[in-house]
Chains A and B, each alone.
Chain A
Amino acid sequence: MPPPRPDVRNIVPPWITVYTKPLPVPPRGVQKLQTNRPTFLNLLKIRQPLPAVVSILHRISGVLLFFPGIPLLLYGLEMTLRSPEDYARFQSLAGSLPFRLVALLLLWCFLHHLCAGTRFLALDLHLGGALPQARLTSRVVLAAGITLTLLISSWILQ
């Protein structure tokens, strides 16, 4: 009696699929090129490191400074320089809550944009370009933007 033939499936590693029968071939006419290809790009499922967060905030703050920042700046400049009456009107306007909220937001936009931009300039000069430093400086920039906003706004209000 011949010895039993070893099953080839027991001697190859488990992750290699051994086909003991020929591969099933789809009949002609059924074979087609794959056209349906999804792309995984769910931004909620992709973790963004802190330097990337600082960068996107740099971008968002830049957009807000462009609009409504620039027109508001010019409008305020015009109003405060036109006449003493307009200057007084601006001062009373500056006391209102909506004005203060908008001003606070734009102040943060400006300060974050300034701090993050300084960090980018340093990176261009190859300062702090290694990953640990870049992580540290992005933390510092984020904190500095918020701290300076609070300090300056409380200094103006006092």
Chain B
Amino acid sequence: MRFSIYRFDPDKDDRPYMQDYDIVPEPADRMLLDALIRIKSVDDSLSLRRSCREGVCGSDGMNINGRNGLACITPLVGLREPVELRPLPGLPVIRDLIVDMTQFFRQYHSIKPYLINNDPPPETERLQSPADRAALDGLYECILCACCSTACPSFWWNPDKFVGPAGLLQAYRFLADSRDQATAERLDNLEDPYRLFRCHSIMNCVDACPKGLNPTGAIGKIKDMMVRRTV
């Protein structure tokens, strides 16, 4: 199989370039990550992040033939050759396929991704009805791989101001949580022409999400909450 991979080594290269690799996958090599590990055994200067190799840790997000996805859950079968691999778009490249996620996580932290509840903690857990718990389905599963935010043009143009789909999905995850008490503060924090309203519902995030989540829908629900409290 032929691969064409984005290479950049800050110690040697002035600018990035594409390098071709030809490898013969072993029968056990099912996913793109298996092939990348095989390439790395030939050329150990190739750098990429990976850990769990089963789509849970969210480290190996990359741009695969023009689409963002996780290498570990992208089957080799069906990939158009040469398989073009590039780092996630719009984030500064540290080396090869490794990007600097600082901006992404800064936006994630800005929405206070934790439960805010000022009641004294009970003896056991803070309980939820099954219906309240079900409201969090499709929200809590996010693995923060950044595939969605780096597929979003609004995040490309304003990564410092727009929270981005990943951050906004998590914002709604806490807005939708029956145990959270900071609804008003959270909505205040998001009521901003840049932070929330750069989303123009083009749904690239939904298209990219390797976990099949729907950030655009969650953003729409945040807007619903704002409309309900204002109108």
Contact = CB atoms under 8 A, between A and B. Distances in A.
Contact of B207 (A59, A124, A131): A131
B195 interface: no
Contacts of A38: 8, 15-16, 92-93
A87 interface: no
Contacts of B100: 37
B10 A37 contact: yes
Contact of B67 (A34, A47, A55, A129): A47
11 contacts: A36-B10, A37-B93, A39-B91, A41-B90, A45-B63, A45-B66, A46-B89, A52-B202, A52-B203, A129-B217, A131-B214
Nearest first, the 4 A-B pairs at minimum CB distance are A47-B66, A37-B92, A55-B202, A14-B41
A contact face: mostly helix, strand, loop, or mixed: loop
Q: How large is the interface on A (under 10, 10 to 19, 20 to 34, 35 or more residues)?
A: 20 to 34
A134 B203 contact: yes
Contact of B86 (A40, A55, A134): A40
Contacts of A131: 203, 206-207, 214
Interface string A31-71: 00010111111000111110110011001000000000000
Nearest to A34: B10
B223 A124 contact: yes
A130 interface: yes
A41 B15 CA distance: 14
